[in-house]
Structure 1
Amino acid sequence: MRRWWSTLFPLSKPCWFCSTPIRSLPFACIWKQICFTCQEHFMRINGSVCQKCGRPMVEEENPACLDCSQIDSSTFTPNRSVVLYQGQAKKIIQIFKYRGQERLAVPLGRWMAEVCFQYYRSVPFSLITYVPLHENRLKQRGFNQAELLAQVMGRQLRLPVQKLLIRRRETSSQSQRSRKERLQALQHAFILNEEFDSTWLSRQCVLLVDDVYTTGSTLRECVKPLSEIGVKQVYTITFAR
């Protein structure tokens, strides 16, 4: 009786991103587990998007945005993102990555899984992987935010999470670099994890996870070693765009 009553009339619990109490059903989507104030500060990506990078677009525009149309299409894999990288999203990502708030991987990863199901529902994914950190950066931070997001998504989508890539060269923060500087810094920075058989891997459909999409250079460099062994289907997803 008590369980039935709590399902119909759930108790208040804190918003995922602040202390404001809200009422929501246990299996409600993440958006309904966020208070109205936080909702107002997230810019969700809905409607028409660039079919390559996932940037919001008006319906009358071409399938690809201006930036994507100027880059060799052979280097692209489809990307989708949850929100724009501004306001509350930027603040949450910074708290998550640089203040050790690993618990934020749960709402962010679940939200990403919901968007993944929305856009990639018909894609037959066989596994999830993530953008790796260099071992020195991993020691400093204590965790890889992309890996945590991937693990949460794996549980939600019931897919295995594998470390397919190794970051063999450490690079400084990309946020303050130009597109050209990012490309130069990231060239050949990622290699395939030798623990995986390339013949087996070439038959898989891979979902690649990261926290933020800016120019897309990091994700494209991660896709290169997978493409070189013949992996034909690689899709990417990030929390912010």
Structure 2
Amino acid sequence: MKEWWSFLFPPSSACWFCGTPMQARLFAPPEKRFCPVCLEALQPIREPICQVCGRGFDKAPSADVCFDCVRIAEEERVMNRSPVAYTQQVAAWVRLFKYRGKEGLATPMGRWMAEVARVHYARENISLVTFVPLHEERLIQRGFNQAEKLADEVGRRLRLPVCPLLVRNKDTAYQSKRTREERLSALGGSVILADGAWKRQLANQVVLIVDDVYTTGATVRECAKPLRQAGVKKVCSVTFAR
């Protein structure tokens, strides 16, 4: 009996990000899985939020859609949710994950993203998980697609199949240093449906797109276009940071 109780309620755990020993129950929510230092740096997004992109509002808004999303046609919008704001510390963690070989960060990041998706998309009946593709040249340089790593963890946690439905047919270079207008121009027509995706019978499916960071939303909207053309019923996204 004692061994069973210790398994369910271990006396101590470790911070998901830095590994600092701490008290944490087995079924504790994600925010209880980080030490106080990391949690403060992470800045979890809480209500009220934009009902489209998931950005947190500093104060109670006069509308439920932020200024950026109002400018996007309703038929082009993709609902996004993210657990944390894109702070300097989060940006540093994302760089470690993408460029410094810290692939293990996909586990805590993906876990939290899965919980956010579980809560916010409970009524959407998501049937497939996919991810933002990398161009072949970028994939060779980096060695892995960070969005795919996150999608694998999200799919595992949500018990949903993860399918490579999309292909990037041109290298759009790094988007992080571009203006909004430059992003929109560069991304146009850069994502197409993968050759084998038609075999998935996408009509009437609800697809969740996974990526690491949501900035302007141009990337997930570009990914949504071929999916909608293939008959997907609804497209939504989850990213680690917004």
Q: Using the alignment, how far apart are the partners of 2:98 and 2:185 within structure 1?
A: 24
Asked whether the equivalents of residues 9 and 26 of structure 2 are also in contact (C-alpha less than 8 Å), the reply is no
Q: CA RMSD, aligned part only?
A: 1.6
Pairwise CA distance, 1:8: 6.3
Asked whether the equivalents of residues 209 and 237 of structure 1 are also in contact (C-alpha less than 8 Å), the reply is yes
Asked whether the equivalents of residues 198 and 230 of structure 2 are also in contact (C-alpha less than 8 Å), the reply is no
Letter in 2 for 1:15: C
Q: Give deviations 1:209-239, integer Å, cap 9, x for gaps.
A: 1000001111111111111222230011100
Q: TM-score, normalised by structure 2?
A: 0.94
Structure 2 residues without counterparts, runs of 5 or longer: none
Residue 64 of structure 1 aligns with which residue? 65
Q: TM-score, normalised by structure 1?
A: 0.94
Pairwise CA distance, 1:103: 0.7
Residue 227 of structure 1 aligns with which residue? 228
Q: Using the alignment, how far apart are the partners of 2:63 and 2:161 within structure 1?
A: 35
Residue 36 of structure 2 aligns with which residue? 36
Count of residue correspondences: 241
Letter in 2 for 1:12: S
Compare 113-122 and 5-14 and name the one that shifted more.
Answer: 5-14
1:93 aligns with 2:94: yes
Structure 1 residues without counterparts, runs of 5 or longer: none
Pairwise CA distance, 1:52: 1.1
* CA spacing shift, 1:39–1:195, aligned 2, 3 Å: same
Residue 176 of structure 1 aligns with which residue? 177
Letter in 2 for 1:69: V
Q: Give deviations 1:69-88, integer Å, cap 9, x for gaps.
A: 12222211111111100032
Q: Using the alignment, how far apart are the partners of 1:19 and 1:114 within structure 2?
A: 20
Residue 136 of structure 1 aligns with which residue? 137
1:156 aligns with 2:157: yes
SS of the residue corresponding to residue 197 of structure 2 reads coil
SS of the residue corresponding to residue 195 of structure 1 reads helix
Pairwise CA distance, 1:11: 4.0
* CA spacing shift, 1:3–1:236, aligned 2, 3 Å: same
Compare 199-208 and 145-154 and name the one that shifted more.
Answer: 199-208
